[in-house]
Structure 1
Amino acid sequence: MPFCVPCSSSVDKNKWTGHLRSTAHKTTVCSNKLLNDGVEVVESAFRMRIATYRISATNDQSLASVDAFMNSIRNKIKRLLDNSLTKHTCVKVNFELFGLFLMFKDNSQSIKSFGTKNKILYLSYDFESLFCEVVNCLKKKFEEFQDRDSGWAFVSNSHLEININKYQPLRGSSYVDLPKFIKNKKACINIQNNDQCCFLWCVTAALHPSTKHPERVSSYPNFRDVLNISQISFPVTFDDIRIFEKNNPMISLTIFGLKNNKIVVGPLYKSKVSSNQKCRKNINLLLIDDGSHPPHYVLIKDLSRLVRRQVTKHNSKIYFCETCLLFFLTQEELANHLCTGIVTVLPEKGTVIKFKHFDRKQNVPFVIYADFESLLQPTETSDSDTDTSDSLTPNTTTLHHHIPAAFGYHIVCNADPSHNRYFSYRGTDCVDKFIEAIYKDVAKIYKIVNKNTPIICNENDDQNFLNAKRCHICNHFLFSDRVRDHCHITGRYRGAAHNICNLQYKRPCFVPIFFTICLVMIAIYLSKNWGRHLETSKLYLKPKKTIFLLLNLSLSRMSIFSFVL
C-alpha cells in the first residue's frame, strides 16, 4: 500500500491518484512559497515548468458570488499569467474553482470543484476575453450543479487553483526537403526559404503564382509588401494563423499533415468561413513534421493529385470541394452539390454505435394536454399617435391584446386509462384557476406514481420468466442475475430483466404538459401568476416551436416549475 510522506498516512493504491488531487493533500504539501498578493504555490515540477497556484478567498470574498469573487482577484490572475508568459513565452492554463456546499437532507458539508478546459496562451493573448470566458464557464457549472436536483446548496467560496504548464507549440520553420512519394506527384510547391517564414512565402506564392522556378523565393514579391503580418510571431503557430486571418480577411487556410511520411491526413487546421465570407481565397498547405527536422509548410497547388490514390482507385481526375472536403468525379457534380460547410469524417472500421440509456425507452406514465382560449381586446390608440409601447419592435404596431378567457386540459395515463381526466374552466381568473388545478392534479399524480403496487403474476408470466433468454430492457442474454420487472402503477408483469437494468429502469420523475397553441403572451402571463402559487418555482424560457410545461416530482415536494416556449 503506498505511503504518503507529507500526509503521514497509507493510501489504497486504487485511490492514490484521487488522494494526490484532494484538497487535504494539497494543503498539507503546500510549499508555503508565497508570490505577490498572497498567491501560493501548491505544486511544481520540472523546475516550475509545471506548476499549480492557489488564490484563497478572504472572509469577505468567501461569501461573495462566483463572479464577484473572480473579479476581486482579477489583478492577481493577470499578474500571474503575465509573469508565466514572460518566463515561458507560451503556456497551457486551466482554472479550477473550489467551493463549500451544504446538503440540507443530512446537514453535511463538502468541498466541490469545477474546472475549465486547457487554454493555450501566447504573449499576445487577450486577457479580457479569457477572463470573461473563464468566469462564465465556472459560473455556469456552479448554477447547473445546484439546479439539477443534486440537493447541494452553495455556501461559500474556498479558493481558486490555476494550473500552468509550459507549452512548446507546433511551428513551421525553414526549408525541408519533401518525401520522395510527394515530390513525385508534383502536386506541391516547396519554397527554398532560409528564414522561418515558410508559411508566409507559401501564402504569397498562392496569391502571386509563378511559372518559372516556383521553388525560389526570388520568384515572388516580398510577403511584407502583400500581407498584413502584425502581431504574428515566428515561426508561425496555429494561433498565429488565426491572427493572420483576422489581419487578412480575404484569405482562408486549410492545413493538412503527414502520417508516417506516407499518408496525407487532416485537416489539422481549417478556417471558419461564414456564409458572407465564401468569396475568400482558400489556400491549402501541407505541414511536414517527421521529427528529424523542424516543421515546414509547403503549398499544395493540386489537392486532387496529392490525395487521389488515398480516396479512390480511379485514374481520372477528381474534384474536391474546398469547404466540406467531399470529392466528385466531374466538375458538374462539384458545381451542383449543396455544400453544408461541414467536413465529413467517417468513423474508423469496426466502430459501433450502442444505445445505453435503456430507461428512456419507457413511456411517460402521465402526460397532460392543455389549451387556452382568449379574447381579442383592441388597444386604445389615437389617430394622431400610434401606440408602440407594447410592441416588440419600433416598426410593429399593437392592435389587440389577448385576454385569457378559458382553459381546458386532459390528463392521459399510459398505464391505467381509469386515471384519465378532463377539466375545463371559463372566467376572467382562468390563469389562476389553471395553476391551482394543475398543481392539485399533479399532486395526485405524484401519489399514484410513488405508490409501489406489488407485482401481479400468473402462470404464463412465471413460465415466461423461467424460459426468458434475453433481458426485455437491454435485449442482452440473461444469466443468474435475472429478476422480474413490473409496472409500479398497475403491478403488471413486464418481463425478465437483469438486476442492474431493473434498477436503472426508473419511472420518469416529471409530468410533461403540452399546449396545442404557441402564444408568447400566455407564456408571459403564466410566468407572472405562477410565482404567487409556488414560492420556490423557477422559470426558464427557451425558443421552441411549441409550449412545453414541466413539473418535476421531487421526493419530498413538487418545487420546480420549468416553462419552455
Structure 2
Amino acid sequence: MFLCSVCGKLFSYKRNLTRHTKICNADQIKNATPQTGVNDSAGPSKHTCEKCLKSFNRKDNLKQHRRICKGAINVNLPETKNLETVSLKRTSSPTNINQAESESSVPKRARLGFNNEHLVMQEEGVYLVNTSYKNRIATYRLLSKKDPISVNDFLANLREKIISLVRCQIERFGNVKVGMELFGRFLLQTKEVQETKSFGSRFREASQGTDLEELFDQFTTIIKRRFQEFNEKDSGWTLQQLLHVDVRVNKINPLKASSYIPLPKEIEAKRAVLNIQNTDQKCFVWSVLAAFHPVPRTQNANRVQNYQSFEQELDVSGIDFPISLKQVSKFEQLNNISINVYGLEKGYKHDRNIIEVVGPLYFTRSHKADRHVNLLLISDDSGNNHYCLIRNMSRLISQQLSGKQHSKFLCDGCLVYFSSDIKLENHQKYDCGHVVVETPSDNLKKNKYGENIPENILKFTNFERKLKVPFVVYADFETILEPIQTEQNELDPEISYTVKTHQHVPYSFAYYINSILIILSRFSRLLEDLMHIKFS
C-alpha cells in the first residue's frame, strides 16, 4: 500500500499515488492562507477545449472529449454540465421549528434544501440530481418560478418543462420509463415538527408514438389523488410549501427485432420458415409483405428487393422501429391484419439437444382467416432479435407434436390442431369463431305479460301448464329433549369420542290436508289409525 503524505489516503499502486499527489498538492496550495506567501494561481496545468472552453486536469481526458465535442453547448441534453453548480440536501428527518432559522433570512435555495449533493443546472429551473450508466438512468429536479400552494397550479406551471424534458430523453434513447414525484414541506402543529413528504407515481413506458400530454395528465391525476388521500387521513399535517418535482428517466430495451439473424440449423432444415436478409430495422414489415406477396424459394425469396415495391401498402404511422411485441396490436388495427408471433426454446430430450417452437408470444384478439400472418421471433447470444415468416406451420411443428410422420394442421384462431386439412376447414367453418357462450346481462326484456324484467333473472311464468295433484299433506313432528345419565369413565384424549347428554322424545305431530277431492275415505281412515299410535 502507498500512503499520501498530505491527506493520508492509501493506494494499491504507485502510479495512482503519483497521479493523486499532483491534485492533492494543488488543493493544498489553493487552500493556503495569504500569509504563507504561496501564489494562489499555482497548481496543475489546465487543458482547455478550444471549441467549448471546457477545462480538464489531464490531457488524455481532453483528447477523449475532443472526439465528441461539437463546439456549442446544448442545455437541453442531460450530458450538459455547465452554467451553474448548486447543492442539494433532501430533508429526511423531522426538524424542530424553534431550532430552525427564520426563512426570511435564508436564501430561497437553502430553504428548499439545497446544501450537500452537487446538482448540474440544465436550464433555468431544471437540475440534474444524479445519473448513472452514462445518463441512461437519471433524475431531474424541476423548480417553479412561482410558489403556488395548490397542487394543480404547481404542476401546471411545470407542465411544459416536464413534457419538453421527457421528449428530449425519448429523442436521445428511443424508449424510456418515466416516473414523477412531487415533494412538499408539511407542518405538524401539535409537536411543532416539519417534514418533507412526497407523492409519486409508478413508472410508465414512453416512446416516439406516446402522447406526452396524456402521459402528463395521468401522472398529475395519480399525484393529486395520493395528495388528497393523505390530507383525508386526519393526520394533523398541514402543507407549508410545495418544493419541487422529481422526474426519473430510465432507458429501456424492450423485446424488439431488427436486422438479419441466421436461423438455427434444425429450423432451417425443415424449410418451413422464410428468413429475410434485411440490413435495416424493418424485418417485421418485410415478413408481413412476404406473406401477402409470396415469392418462390428458387427466386431468392429472402431478398428485401422483392418486397420494397409493396411497402406503401402497410400503414406504420405512430409505430417505432424496430417493432416490439407491444406494438403488434397497434399494427394490426392500422392494417386490418391478424398476427400470431411464436418463439424458439432450447431443450434436452431423448439424450440430445433440441429446439422447440413455443408460444404464441403474441396472440391476436381478432382472428382474420383471409388476412392472417404467423411470425417467428428468433434471437442470438448477443440479445439481438429478428422476425421471420412461418410459411408452413404443419411442417414446423408436426414432429414436435407427435412422433408419427404425419402432418398437423393448426387453427390460428384457437391453436387446436387436426390430422387433416378437411377437419381443419370444417372446424374453421362451423366451430372456431362461431360457437360461443353468451351469459345473460342485466338488459331489460319483456315477458309474456308485457312487463320489463332483467334478462339475467329467470322466473316461471307458464302457470297454466302446471300439473295438478289430487291432494297435498303438510305434516310436522315435535320432540322434547330429556337428559340421560351416562357413566363418566376415564376417557382417552388420544382417541376421538362422543358424550351423550340428551335424547329426543317425540310427543306430538300435526298435519294439514289440502285437496281438490271431496271424498277421501280411505285416506281419512288411515289417518285415524295413525292417531292411536303410541310413541315410547
Query: TM-score, normalised to structure 2's length?
Result: 0.49
Give 1 or 2 for the bigger CA radius of gyration.
Answer: 2
